[in-house]
Amino acid sequence: MPDLPDVTFPRDRRIDPSVRSVLVPHWSNLAPEDVVDGVTSMRRTLIDCMRNLPLEESVPIADSAVRAGDITSPALVRLAASMRGRGRRRAMAVAAMATAAAANAYESTLRAIASTVPGLNVEPQRPIRIADGRVLHPDLLDERLGIVIEAESFTWHGETAALTRDCARYNAFVTQGLIVIRFSWPQVIFRPAYVVEVLANAVALAHRHANVARGAPAYAA
């Protein structure tokens, strides 16, 4: 939950400075269809989030809307393209990234951060066929560089059986010749600069990695 609610006022509305202690003000002349039961509509909320929020916050929201079926990816792109004025370019970038393939908001946040690393182009849940014929879906994969990025948490790996499965998954990726990078939730949420630094180093390593010269590993169709 945000620390303070976001409230939109008409453009000509003046507010007392003290109000900022209890809310985050925005100014816009909302159309009647932009307000439903006293709050902004889904469409308007998406516009405001894509326009105003940083990438690591707006991408998870856009992904969640597409994943929940509230809007399709093409419709989201059209919505961003219909915008005018400040923030349109940012909104179009967010809409272009939005996908229902992302497993959750945590993974979407990591993907948003990864998108800022030069030379890195990751996709969520891309299938990889490993040596024994099984197909695994890493959280994020750069197919060209052979980099797997995993978003780890105690929720899914806190028990012995889950940890064992996670180790087997990690070993399968590594023995496939992939570079595997793992991040914890606190690192992704509170230390994005660290995430960027590690991923930039991974990109540099991949360019020296034998897999780049030989071509990417075999992936599932």
Structural domains in the chain, CATH included, are 31-97 (no CATH), 105-214 (3.40.960.10)
pTM comes to 0.85
Identify the residue whose tokens are 């597409």.
66
Q: Which of 177, 185, 96, 97 is nearest to 130 (CA)?
A: 177
pLDDT of residue 82: 94
Structure tokens at 166: 């996670």
pLDDT of residue 217: 56
Q: Which of 117, 121, 5, 124 is nearest to 62 (CA)?
A: 124
Per-residue pLDDT of the chain (221 residues; tens, 9 = 90+): 789 998 999 999 999 999 999 999 999 889 999 999 989 999 999 999 999 999 999 999 999 999 999 999 999 999 999 998 889 999 999 999 999 999 999 999 999 999 999 999 999 999 999 888 889 999 999 999 999 999 987 665 556 777 788 888 899 999 999 999 999 999 999 999 999 999 999 999 999 875 445 555 555 54
pLDDT of residue 117: 98
- CB 184: neighbour CB atoms within 10 A? 14
pLDDT of residue 85: 85
pLDDT of residue 162: 78
pLDDT of residue 132: 83
pLDDT of residue 221: 46
H-helix segments, 41-159 = 42-52, 55-67, 73-81, 88-97, 105-114, 154-157
